[in-house]
């Protein structure tokens, strides 16, 4: 009998320009539609938009023209992992924006919306990886990262306090 759930992975490499946020979001939406995971679409699309926007803004601020890479795939048959890589220096920061400010909530949304998330600055690529997971149990050892045991920085849902740098 054929397995009705056939996991698939997608990757997208694009210049650090805001016009690509929609394409990144739609890429993840399409993956979730194709794999019959409609219950994850809204959250995954929002968090993808936020992570990609952060990467693009970081590249613009630091004048980095290197492409941004998105990879979305299945850590397990039920758990989606989305990874965004950029070459801008520094880490995303969580701040408390004023009520009228339009920016500054991306990492807060990722922290509260994802089942796990993290930022890696070491591994086989230049720059940093911002990643999040949806749709399953959090594994406490953190060993199943984009490249094996390279990055063990796992943040559970609502885990910004554990990440906050003073």
pLDDT band, very low/low/confident/very high, at 52 (cuts 50, 70, 90)? very high
What's the CATH number where 142 sits? 3.30.565.10
Residue 85 within a domain: yes
Is 52 inside any structural domain? yes
Q: Which 8-state DSSP code applies to residue 138?
A: P
Q: What is the pLDDT of residues 123-158, one digit of tens each?
A: 777 889 999 999 975 555 544 444 443 343 444 444
Rg (CA), the chain: 15
Report residue 24 as tokens: 């990144």
| In the predicted structure, residue 23 carries a pLDDT above the cut 80 | yes
CA 164, CA 81: separation in Å to the nearest integer?
Answer: 22
Q: Which two tokens stand for residue 48?
A: 């993808």
- Please count the structural domains in the chain: 1
Quick check: is 36 in a domain?
A: yes
CA distance 94 to 155: 14
Residue 55 contacts residue 62 (beta carbons within 8 Å) = no
Domain assignment of residue 49, given as a range: 10-163
Predicted pLDDT of residue 137: 59
């Amino acid at each position: 009998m054929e397995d009705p759930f056939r996991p698939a992975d997608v990757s997208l490499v694009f210049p650090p320009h805001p016009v690509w946020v929609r394409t990144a979001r739609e890429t993840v939406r399409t993956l979730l539609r194709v794999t019959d995971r409609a219950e994850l679409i809204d959250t995954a699309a929002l968090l993808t938009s936020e992570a990609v926007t952060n990467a693009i803004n970081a590249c613009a601020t630091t004048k980095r023209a290197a492409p941004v890479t998105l990879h979305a795939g299945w850590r397990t048959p039920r758990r989606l992992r989305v990874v965004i890589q950029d070459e801008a220096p520094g880490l995303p920061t969580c701040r408390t924006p004023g009520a009228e400010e339009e920016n500054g909530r991306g990492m807060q949304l990722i922290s509260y919306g994802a089942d796990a998330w993290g930022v890696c600055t070491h591994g086989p690529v230049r720059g940093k990886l911002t990643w999040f997971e949806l749709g399953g149990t959090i594994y406490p050892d953190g060993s199943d990262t984009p490249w094996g045991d390279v990055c063990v920085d796992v943040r559970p849902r609502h885990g910004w306090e554990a990440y906050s740098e003073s």
